[in-house]
Chain A
Amino acid sequence: MNFEFFFNNLPELTITGLAFGAIYALIALGYTMVYGVLQLINFAHSEVFMYGTFATLWTVIALNAADANGVKLIAILIVALFASMALSALIALALERVAYRRLIERDAPRLIALISAIGASFVLAELMGLRDRIAGWFGLDDDLSEYVGKARINNSMAGTLEKPRFDVGGVSISSIDIIVIVAAVGMMVLLDQFVRRSRLGKGIRATAQDPETASLMGVNPTRTIQVTFLIGGLMAGVAAFLYMLKIDTTKYDVGFLLGVKAFTAAVLGGIGNLRGALLGGLVLGVAENWGQALFGGEWRDVIAFVLLVLILLVRPTGLLGESLGKARA
């Protein structure tokens, strides 16, 4: 136990933890919304996120961000953000179409949908991990080597961005952490308001509460499910972009652990509950970072799961309870 280090660096640890937590929270949204509407664990959501990180990376390479600065760099980053959101949303929609729709229509047992999602997750991750081979079939692997090379190891965009730190009252803060936290929380607030106020949001909530009655009232269930996946994908795209800003590296299997963490965050806050996802993500991020400082980095993931078990013992439906549609038995 390293209490001295912990207390000396408490503010820094908290802020980095919040930044991680914000990314968890954005990914957790995808899990929580799909769960709220369909009561399905969308296991492949982690891959949706992973494709977003690659969209960011590829845009940065293609637009040569390493040589850019100032306004041009910001413009490139915005393009990267949109590319990431677009690809993630596309993958999420394709996922709904291929892995879920027929099962949902036939009202298949829920576990089989989980298996289908696991299968889809393997396929998506492996397609990315074998992209050099697949490009090779078309004879493109030389032309695209910047994009498809190093298919099974870390791909990095480190050095593209300067990450200035500044001092606030003797505490050194990374500007990226602040950007990540502000952007993530902003997106969450926007989404929360969207689901609360807009027509589509009402449709989502109604379907979550009672799909049959909702469809009688004129809500198209298939479309609502599509919108849910679309929103989850967009948020995962934002998360992927912010993740790349902070970490710089990605890999074909980067989604797996992050997905597990994000799902943990969703459950922690109360699955099906948007604000719960935010709270759960932030709590998880901070707890991990504090725990890492106290017990050492190798215990980081253990802390996350122990925390989850403890909280579920005290509050069996998560911190804020489940409530995308309010009151579900």
Chain B
Amino acid sequence: MNIGFRDKLTGLPKPVRILLWILLALFAYALPLLELPIISTPGVDFGGVLFTVTIYCLVALGLNIVVGYAGLLDLGYVGFYAIGAYTVGILTSFHANWPLLLAIPVAVVAAMISGVILGAPTLRVRGDYLAIVTLGFGEIIRLTAVNLEWLGDARGIKNIAKPPNIGDEKTGLFEIPHLLWGDGTVLVDTEHPTKFLVFGYIDQVPYYWMGLTAVIIVLIADILIKSSRVGRAWEATREDEDAAELMGVPTFKFKLLAFSTGAFVGGLAGALYASRQGFINPLSFLLLYSILFLAAVVVGGQGNRWGVLLGAILVAYLPQRFREFDDFRVLAFGAALVLLATLRPEGLIPPRRTVRAKQLEQELDELEQGTDEGEEAARV
């Protein structure tokens, strides 16, 4: 069904397609102002939830490069996220007084360098060993933050810089009203407008816009990289490392590139998170988050950028939406993971290649009637 949707989409003339994308983006930007019933989260600030969703989307896109494109299992992705967040914390508050816009590039580069440092020795290690080494890396980063006073130990770092405001702090450049939904009526709520563009403490919507902008930029970069030589080299490496090497793909170099690109995006997500939060401590970087990030990627459909975005949205949004089941949230989440894995082993939106490979395989099976079905199922 979703293949049909895809074909229809690509069948449209280019201007219409671009228009559709722009409309979708506009809708995404306007989402917190619309305050749609059902979607909005009761009891929690909707803008804040949406910001969290964008952070998960960023992380999922970054991790998708590592896990989905290059096929490297990374269980310590939260380490890069932490490095991004801590670099911003140190540079803007704890040991220096830099403006945020200067600190973010440094944080991103720091995360990327840490990716190279971790990757260079460990990427020679095969599949599952890499998983446990990266898991160890994530924990080492967190425990170091807990134990080093220079990093604020368990108490963490406070007063991290916010993004700079555009326009006057009181009113912003202009004010945008929200909508208010009553019983069957829609009102314009001018009492609590969002100020464009003031990064304050109460109104979270500007942070969401910042996060969404970052997601869109990363998404475009992702599309460009995936369809380039680099993207093809990643896929070749994932499918068969030896064959790729024989075809002249320097697999190690490309794996390292995937690793550091993923770290780059992870660091960016961490930096944005830290600046919204204003406060970080090691508890924000538990191993659990690495697992949640990985769950977002795999549940959505590793290797498909729209799939992982959907996965990220589900993983970040559902627990907030269903807060009333508070104590049973993790239980339900776990059960949902088992169920999804059993029902849709390729992810919610699998990459087109996987779907095509499956169809081909089915046709082959039909041709070879009499042989044991499913025996030759190619692992994807």
Contacts and interface: CB of A to CB of B under 8 A. Distances in A.
Interface of A is mostly: helix
B170 interface: no
A312 B337 contact: no
B334 A106 contact: no
Interface string B279-309: 0000000010001001100110010000000
A39 B329 CA distance: 30
Interface stretch (B119-127, B160-168, B212-220, B262-270): B119-127
A111 B380 contact: no
A194 interface: no
A204 interface: no
Interface stretch (A52-60, A165-173, A295-303): A295-303
Question: Main SS of the interface on chain B?
Answer: helix
A256 B137 CA distance: 17
B374 interface: yes
A103 B345 contact: yes
Given A112-B298, A115-B294, A118-B337, A302 B342 contact: no
Contacts of B330: 122, 126
Given A122-B331, A130-B328, A316-B126, A112 B341 contact: yes
Contacts, number: 139
Contacts of B132: 263-264, 267, 308
A105 B147 CA distance: 46
A115 B327 contact: no
Q: For this complex, into which size category does the number of interface residues on chain B fall? A: 35 or more
B331 A119 contact: no
23 contacts: A39-B128, A99-B338, A106-B345, A106-B377, A108-B345, A111-B298, A111-B302, A113-B341, A115-B337, A116-B342, A119-B341, A122-B330, A122-B334, A123-B334, A130-B328, A260-B139, A267-B129, A271-B129, A301-B143, A305-B136, A312-B133, A313-B121, A316-B126
Interface of B: 67, 73, 121-122, 124-126, 128-129, 131-133, 135-137, 139-140, 143-144, 146-147, 287, 291, 294-295, 298-299, 302, 327-328, 330-331, 333-342, 345-347, 374-375, 377, 379-380
Interface of A: 35, 39, 41, 98-99, 102-103, 105-116, 118-123, 126-127, 130, 133, 212, 256, 260, 263-264, 267, 271, 298-299, 301-302, 304-306, 308-309, 312-313, 316-317
